[in-house]
Amino acid sequence: MKRCTSVFPTPSQEIILEAAVCPPEQFEALWRRVQESLSAEDLDFGTRSLLPLLQPRLKGFAARSMVQLCRADYRRNWLNNQRLAARAVARIRSLDAAGVPTLVLKGAALIPLYYEDPGLRFMSDLDLLVPGECFRRAGELLESLGYAAVEHPLAFFDTRFGHAVALRDPDGHDLDLHCHVLSTCCERGADTAFWEAARPLVLQAANRQVRTLALGSTDQLLHTCVHGMTWVSPPAVRWVADALVILDRSAADLDWARLVDVALQCGVALPVWTALGYLRARFSARVPREALTLLRKAAEDPAEKRLMAFLTAPRKGHPLRAFLHHRHMVERAMRAGEAGGLTMVRRFLLHWCRTGSIGRVPAHILAKGWAGMSHRLGFRDRDG
């Protein structure tokens, strides 16, 4: 299987992950390999995000540099995630009071349901999903609480072409407000199956708690795989740990037939097949061969291959890639029974250019082209 280095762990990161999930009798040998392959003075973000996974297995080990680093990162995660949980409870309570249903995505759901220890997983922000019809109201409520859009203004955001808006409060705390689970599937009714299969979740922070929802285990695994196959900088290789802990803690609850069906309906068979195939091959994850076979057949679709190429490639400096992807979103929306071609193209251009006037679209397109060219020529930062 060909790897895209932007979404898969490095060899040294794979050793950390292997040490985190191996049988207890194999840990000491793998821990020696971890220390041999890494230097405490030269660790990237992706590697540091994995080290806390080893903390529970390092009890009784001498407090040398790498052990101290694992423990320090574990404590940092624990404190940070407690603060994030408190903000999550407060924001969900506000949305609930306004009659907006919520579903917690990514770390805020994975930690209480699967990791069961807030120190094990790094989390940088909150990800909240609301129904598409409530998205505008939820955004306005969060704006009234001091949040502002980081890039895409809410007023020009169209839920048929985008899955989430990044928001930030005056203190620099980030919250991603989602109207869809998958960034590649934003047409009408795209999330019905996810909401119907959602499970109850009680989030707690200190002496406060709130009731919300989380994805069911099968959908959680699918979402983790698709998100893991999406290029970000720095690489979010913790998706491997997320998937492995879901597979371990929810083996009896996973509905593989549903996972295949949902992947096919959402057009994400190739990224899901790639992620699950990697987990089975590298970590002996219990992924049924039959499910991989069905996903692999669908993955031959040219549309799937185009989507995979888009997901795993950098987008900064490549506005055409984003344009072609959004064209794919337009086609999905039209197949779902949205407005006709010209109307959809007009709405797409307004969304993509982040403007309310079609007359401003040409200038925005030129600006995007210039920004992309400047980035590729090295005039702008290459941070992705």
Q: Are 299 and 276 in contact (CB under 8 A)?
A: no
Fold type of domain 74-215: Beta Polymerase; domain 2 (3.30.460)
Residues 6 or more apart whose CB falls under 8 angstroms from that of 250 comprise 114, 217, 220, 221
Q: Are 55 and 34 in contact (CB under 8 A)?
A: no
What is the arrangement of strands in the sheet containing 148-149, beginning at the earlier edge strand? 148-149, 164-168, 174-178, 126-129, 103-104, 208-214, 199-205
3-state SS class at 199: strand
Instruction: State how far the Cα of 179 lies from the Cα of 199, in Å rounded to an integer.
Output: 18
What are the extents of the domains in the chain? 74-215, 315-384
pTM: 0.86
Q: Which two tokens stand for residue 331?
A: 């086609």
Show pLDDT as tens, one digit a residue, over the chain (384 residues).
444 457 999 999 999 999 999 999 999 999 999 999 887 666 889 999 999 999 999 988 887 888 999 999 999 999 999 999 999 999 999 999 999 999 999 999 999 999 999 999 999 999 999 999 999 999 999 999 999 999 888 888 888 888 999 999 999 999 999 999 998 888 888 999 999 999 999 999 988 999 999 999 999 999 999 999 998 877 789 999 999 999 999 999 999 999 999 999 998 999 999 999 999 999 999 999 999 999 998 878 887 888 888 788 776 655 666 666 666 666 666 666 665 566 766 777 776 667 777 877 677 667 666 655 555 555 554 433
Q: Which two tokens stand for residue 219?
A: 């959908």
What is the sign of the dihedral through the CA atoms of 39, 106, 80 and 74? negative
Instruction: State how far the Cα of 114 lies from the Cα of 108, in Å rounded to an integer.
Output: 11
Instruction: State how far the Cα of 216 lies from the Cα of 230, in Å rounded to an integer.
Output: 21
Q: Are 7 and 235 in contact (CB under 8 A)?
A: yes
Amino acid identity of residue 118, one-letter, is P
CA atoms within 13 A on the CB side of 85: 26
